[in-house]
Amino acid sequence: VFLAVLDKHFAMLEQPRLKGKKVVVTAGPTQEKIDPVRYFTNHSSGKMGYAIAEQAQREGADVILISGPTALPCPKGVKRVAVETAQEMYEAVTGQFADADIVIKAAAVADYRPKEVFTEKRKKQPGEWAIEMERTIDILKTLGEQKQSQLLVGFAAESEKVEEYAAKKLEAKNLDLIVANDISASGAGFKGDTNIITILTRDGKTKQYPLLSKQEAARRIFDELLDYMKRQQQS
Amino acid sequence: VFLAVLDKHFAMLEQPRLKGKKVVVTAGPTQEKIDPVRYFTNHSSGKMGYAIAEQAQREGADVILISGPTALPCPKGVKRVAVETAQEMYEAVTGQFADADIVIKAAAVADYRPKEVFTEKRKKQPGEWAIEMERTIDILKTLGEQKQSQLLVGFAAESEKVEEYAAKKLEAKNLDLIVANDISASGAGFKGDTNIITILTRDGKTKQYPLLSKQEAARRIFDELLDYMKRQQQS
């Protein structure tokens, strides 16, 4: 048994599961300017996306990491493209999409941005201020519509009805796999080093995981994705 | 001359200029929640405020650093109070004000916050979204009104008419000294390690400095403040 485990281990090292594949990973938040000082953003740390990029690289893939502003160092062997806004993220991702094999959208892209961006710092004024927001481009939906042979993976970070929303999103965005996590659960979510994920695939499988490090979660995502790929080839 | 310089140097080391003084410094941005994921903030890195706290500690003061979310380590010997929102900043600063000798407000506190904070993540909806914003408490103005013997120092980070706005702010907020900087100038502003400052004091003096590290800028702020204190004692 021990030798079998060792064999399996070395087989894995010798035959990286994603060798020759181009994997595009997005990570981090976006920042949407109101003026030169103020902006909208969200609590994504980028850790989950960076862990996925690192894991893909370890599995032998050519990895492009398209990242919003984070404090994280670029994983070794990974090519990072830095972006700031949802619009820049959209352009960077679609520019890498045509020849990608797998696209994993772990970034928390703003779905709204201010309609008006002030070029000078807006002075305080008496009374209230209604900031008019407009929708940004839905990157995942666009990719789902454009997709040919690419495998598309999305995230659903929710604070309620997590699996229900995730299943709807998988369908609506034409994804192959979605990683759902309840950001209101302790140990899960944006800022920490751990996550509690549920993985749903297009062919109707659902798998819940216990608390994992973001590195372990990244590994499980590729396990599920590779299993899904095998099932697709067999069917 | 050399000995005189040395003498002056050692005199300074032996007699810290702020010995026995309680100095309260605020630093960093605030974050104003929209829902559990989204928030408003600004590009303050906290570096200028942290450099001021460090310098005050070096000058012998008892330093309280009230800081919004930043990635910076707390300077040695400084007591840090972590806050997130403008409201928390207000409560922390006013709580430290009564027995403070010097209060330096280097934080970039949000002057607006969302009127409504959603307890669950707000789902995307078709169409636009007007976020109603309300004013936060003006901390500097409140301190200016409450001030007894405290010296009050503010910042004016502007992208146009910098000195004009700074002079108005010094007057309107009843400050003793204001540090103005043009955030649109290269080498100045929120994110970098340098700053280009102009210092205005209540008694009408204005001094422009060239590009300085934030550490050097912090030193000059105390130089000007101590000169101002001497002039006040003499008059």
Reported as a single tens digit per residue, the pLDDT across B10-53 is 555 556 899 999 999 999 999 999 998 899 999 999 999 999 99
Among residues 11-40 of chain A, which lie with CB inside 8 Å of chain B? Answer: 34, 36-40
- The total of other beta-carbon atoms located within 10 Å of residue A203's CB is 11
Strands B206-208, B197-201: pairing kind: antiparallel
Q: Kindly report the length of chain A.
A: 235
Kindly identify which residue of chain A lies nearest to residue B120, measuring between CA atoms. A159
Within 8 A of B124 by CB-CB distance, chain A residues are 111-112, 135
Residue A166, token pair as written in the block: 């995730």
Q: Do B132 and A134 touch (CB under 8 A)?
A: no
What does the domain layout of chain B look like in residue ranges?
Answer: 7-110+133-234
- What is the rounded distance in angstroms from the CA atom of residue B188 to the CA atom of residue B168? 21
Residue A168, token pair as written in the block: 């709807």
Q: Do A157 and B42 touch (CB under 8 A)?
A: no
Q: Do A157 and B40 touch (CB under 8 A)?
A: no
Q: How many CA atoms lie within 13 A of B43 on its CB side?
A: 21
Reported as a single tens digit per residue, the pLDDT across A112-169 is 999 999 988 888 888 899 999 999 999 999 999 999 999 999 999 888 889 999 999 9
* Angle CA B123–B124–B125, to nearest 5: 110
Among residues 75-104 of chain A, which lie with CB inside 8 Å of chain B? Answer: none
Instruction: Please check the confidence at residue B187 and state whether its pLDDT lies above 90.
Output: no
The interface pTM score, or ipTM, of the predicted complex is 0.84
| Range of A7-21, B176-190, B208-222 with top mean pLDDT | B208-222
Alpha-carbon distance B62 to nearest alpha carbon in chain A (angstroms)? 31
* 8 Å CB contact between B66 and B96: yes
Kindly identify which residue of chain A lies nearest to residue B126, measuring between CA atoms. A135
DSSP three-state, residue B195: strand
Would you list the DSSP string of A42-77?
E---SHHHHHHHHHHHHTT-EEEEEE-S-SPPPPTT
Among residues 134-173 of chain A, which lie with CB inside 8 Å of chain B? Answer: 134-135, 157-160
Alpha-carbon distance B71 to nearest alpha carbon in chain A (angstroms)? 8
Instruction: Please check the confidence at residue A10 and state whether its pLDDT lies above 70.
Output: no
- What is the rounded distance in angstroms from the CA atom of residue A166 to the CA atom of residue A155? 8
B37, B110, B129 member nearest A133 (Cβ): B129
Architecture of the domain whose range is B7-110+133-234: 3-Layer(aba) Sandwich (3.40)
Instruction: Please check the confidence at residue A12 and state whether its pLDDT lies above 70.
Output: no
Within 8 A of B39 by CB-CB distance, chain A residues are 40-43
Task: Give the gyration radius of chain A's Cα atoms.
Answer: 19
B12: exposed, middle or buried (Cβ count in 10 Å: 0-12, 13-18, 19+): exposed
The residue annotated as part of the active site, out of A42, A174, A181, A195, is A42
B41, B129, B133 member nearest A112 (Cβ): B129
- Whether residue B191 lies within 8 A of chain A, CB to CB, comes out as no
CATH class, A16-114+132-234 region: alpha beta
Q: Tell me what pLDDT residue B50 has.
A: 98
Alpha-carbon distance A198 to nearest alpha carbon in chain B (angstroms)? 19
- Whether residue A108 lies within 8 A of chain B, CB to CB, comes out as yes
Q: Over pLDDT 90: what percentage of chain B?
A: 78
Size of interface A-B (CB pairs under 8 A): 93
